[in-house]
Amino acid sequence: KYQNPVHSTARVLPKDYPDRELISPFPVPLLIIGSKYDLFQEFHSDKKKVISKTLRFVAHYYAASLIFTSIKSESLMSKTKSFFSHLAFGLEKGKTMCCEPGKPTIIPAGSDSFSQIGSPPLTDVDITSLHAKNPKDLWKKVFERVFPNESASEQRELKDPAKDPQYSEPQIDAMRAQKDQVTCSCSSFSPSQLCNSY
C-alpha cells in the first residue's frame, strides 16, 4: 500500500528573519495591498499613522509584504505587479522599500521589524488601560478605538445593496417598489382565491 507523505504547511523562514520567534508566518507567501492610496492621502495624519503602523504590524506578524497602491498611479501599479510576479513566479522583486510618512508604504517581507514599527500610536489613552492579552490584541484595540465598528443595525441595513443610497437608480427603484407592492397585495390572497379569480 502506497501512502503519500504528509508535508508540513508551515513556511520555512531564514534563520536571520527579523523577530522570527515572535511572529506567526502565514503558510504561503502573502501580500497585503492597501489599494486606495489616493483616498488614504486625504485622511488626517493621525489616522494615516494608525492605519500604516497597524498594517505594518499585521504584515510583519504574518511574514507578509505590504504595499500601498492606487490605480491612479502607474508607478505604484508597476511596483504592485512586480510584487505579484515575485510571489507567483519567483522573479526579482526589486530593492524598493519605503515606510516614510507622506509616501506610499512599500515593505517586502522580512524588511521590517517590531522595533522599527514601534508601539501603537495612541496619545489620548494609556495603553495599559486597553487590557490586551497579547500584542496582536493590543493593535486591534487601538485600531478599533480610532476606527470604531459600525453598530449591528447599521451593518444589517447596509448588507442589502438595494437599500444603499450609493447605488440608487430612480427608475429601477420605482419599478422595484411597484413590483414589491404587487407581490405584497398578491401574498394576502390564499391559493384558492387566486385560482377562483381566473
pLDDT tens, residue by residue, 145-181: 888 887 655 555 556 667 777 777 888 888 888 888 8
Tell me the mean pLDDT in the region 91-106: 82
Residue 15 inside a domain? The answer is no
Pair 85, 119 in one domain: yes
Residue 44 inside a domain? The answer is yes
* Nearest to 130, CA basis, from 142, 112, 120: 142
**pTM score over 0.75:** no
Model confidence at 97, in pLDDT bands (50, 70, 90)?
Answer: confident
Pair 139, 188 in one domain: no
User: Please, what's the b/e burial string for 79-98 (b: 16 or more CB within 10 A of its CB; e: otherwise)?
Assistant: bbebbeebbeeeeebeeeee
Domain extent for 66? 31-146
Please count the other Cβ atoms lying within 10 Å of the Cβ belonging to residue 107. Answer: 24
- Number of domains within the chain: 2
Pair 42, 137 in one domain: yes
Tell me the mean pLDDT in the region 45-54: 92
Pair 71, 102 in one domain: yes
Predicted pLDDT at 157: 57
Tell me the mean pLDDT in the region 39-59: 93
C-alpha distance across the termini of the chain, in Å: 69
Rounded Cα distance, 100 and 49, in Å: 10
